[in-house]
Structure 1
Amino acid sequence: MQLLGAAGVTSAVMTAEADPAMAAADSGPAEAAAYTAPEGLAEDSPAKQAALDWIDANASRVTGLNSEIWENAELSLREWKSSLAQAEFLERAGFEIEFGTAGFPTAFTATFRQGKGGPVLGFSGEYDALPGLSQKKGVGHHDPLEYIHDPFAPSYGPGHGCGHSALGTAAAAAAAAVARAARERKVPVTVKFFGSTAEETLIGKTYAVSKGVYEGLDAFLDWHPSTANATGWGTTTAMTAVTFTFLGVAGHGGTPLGNKSALDAAVMMATMSEFLREENLAPGGRLHWVINNGGDIPNVTPEIAEISYYVREGSPARVQVLLDKVIAVAEAAAKASQTKVQHKITSACWNQLPNKAFAELLHENMRQVGPPKFGADAHQLAKELQESLGLPAKGMHAEIAQLTPPNPVFMGGGSTDVADISWNVPTVSMGAALAPIGTKMHTWSTASCAAAAPGQAAVVAAAKYLAATAVDLVTQPERLKAVKDEFAERTKGVDWKTALPDGYEPPMYEPPSWFLKRTGQKWPPSNITWPPKRVVSQEKFASLGPEPAPQK
Structure 2
Amino acid sequence: MCDLHDQHDHETTTATDPVMAASAHTTAPNYVPPTGLARDSPAKAAALDWIREHTDRITGLNSEIWDNAELSLREWKSSLAQAAFLEQAGFEVEFGTAGFPTAFTATYSHGTGGPVLGFSGEYDALPGLSQHSGVGHHDPREYVHDPFAPGYGPGHGCGHCVLGTAAAAAAAAVAQAAQRHQLPVTVRFFGSTAEENLIGKTYAVSQGVYDGLDAFLDWHPSTSNATGWRTSTAMTAVTFTFLGVAGHGGHPLGNKSALDAAVMMATLSEFLREENLAPSGRLHWVINNGGDIPNVTPEIAEISYYVREGSPARVQVLLDKVIAVSEAAAKASQTSVRHRITAACWNQLPSRAFAELMYDNMRQLGPPEFTDEAQQLARDLQESLGLPQQGMHTEIAELAPPNPVFLGGGSTDVADISWNVPTVSMGAALAPIGTKLHTWALTSCAAAAPGRAVVIAAARYLTATAIDLLTQPEQLRAIKDEFKQRTEGVAWRTALPDGYEPPMYEPPEWFLEKTGQAWPPDNITWPPQRVVSQEKFSSLGPELPPQQ
Report matched runs for 1:97-496 at 5 Å: 97-496=93-492
Equivalence for 1:19:
17
The alpha-carbon distance between structure 1 residues 512 and 229, as it changes in their structure 2 partners (threshold 3 A), is same
Equivalence for 1:512:
508
Q: Deviations over 1:438-479 (max 9, x none)?
A: 110000000000000001100000000000000000110000
Give the secondary structure class of the aligned counterpart of 1:33. coil
Q: CA deviation at 1:32?
A: 4.8
Give the one of 74, 86, 89 matched to 1:90.
86
- Aligned alpha-carbon RMSD (Å): 0.9
1:22 maps to a residue whose letter is: M
Equivalence for 2:68:
72
Identity %: 80
Give the secondary structure class of the aligned counterpart of 1:179. helix
Q: CA deviation at 1:17?
A: 5.7
Q: What is the CA–CA distance in structure 2 between the aligned matches of 1:391 and 1:427, rounded to whole Å? A: 35
Q: CA deviation at 1:435?
A: 1.2
Q: CA deviation at 1:381?
A: 0.3
Task: Provide TM-score, normalisation by structure 1.
Answer: 0.97
Q: What is the CA–CA distance in structure 2 between the aligned matches of 1:35 and 1:79, rounded to whole Å? A: 43
Q: What is the CA–CA distance in structure 1 between the aligned matches of 2:525 and 2:110, rounded to whole Å? A: 39
Moved over 4 A (4+): none
Q: Could you tell me whether the CA contact under 8 Å between 1:32 and 1:406 is conserved in 2?
A: no
Q: What is the CA–CA distance in structure 2 between the aligned matches of 1:362 and 1:433, rounded to whole Å? A: 16
- Ranges in structure 1 where 5+ consecutive residues have no aligned partner: 1-14
Equivalence for 1:530:
526
Q: Deviations over 1:3-35 (max 9, x none)?
A: xxxxxxxxxxxx99621111100013xx25110
Give the one of 540, 543, 548 matched to 2:544.
548
Q: Could you tell me whether the CA contact under 8 Å between 1:16 and 1:22 is conserved in 2?
A: no
Q: Deviations over 1:131-175 (max 9, x none)?
A: 000000000000000000000100000000000000000000000
Q: CA deviation at 1:349?
A: 0.1
Q: What is the CA–CA distance in structure 2 between the aligned matches of 1:16 and 1:112, rounded to whole Å? A: 48
Q: CA deviation at 1:315?
A: 0.1
1:131 maps to a residue whose letter is: P
Q: Could you tell me whether the CA contact under 8 Å between 1:16 and 1:23 is conserved in 2?
A: no
Give the secondary structure class of the aligned counterpart of 2:188. strand
Q: What is the CA–CA distance in structure 2 between the aligned matches of 1:541 and 1:46, rounded to whole Å? A: 76
Equivalence for 1:7:
none
Q: Deviations over 1:266-317 (max 9, x none)?
A: 0000000000000000001000000000000000000000000000000000
Give the secondary structure class of the aligned counterpart of 1:171. helix
Q: CA deviation at 1:227?
A: 1.3
2:171 maps to a residue whose letter is: A
Give the secondary structure class of the aligned counterpart of 1:200. helix
2:278 maps to a residue whose letter is: A
Q: CA deviation at 1:505?
A: 0.1
Q: What is the CA–CA distance in structure 1 between the aligned matches of 2:434 and 2:216, rounded to whole Å? A: 29
Equivalence for 1:521:
517
Q: What is the CA–CA distance in structure 1 between the aligned matches of 2:185 and 2:73, rounded to whole Å? A: 31
Q: Deviations over 1:323-364 (max 9, x none)?
A: 000000000000000000000000000000000000000000
Q: Count how many residue pairs are aligned between Structure 1 and Structure 2.
A: 536
2:21 maps to a residue whose letter is: A
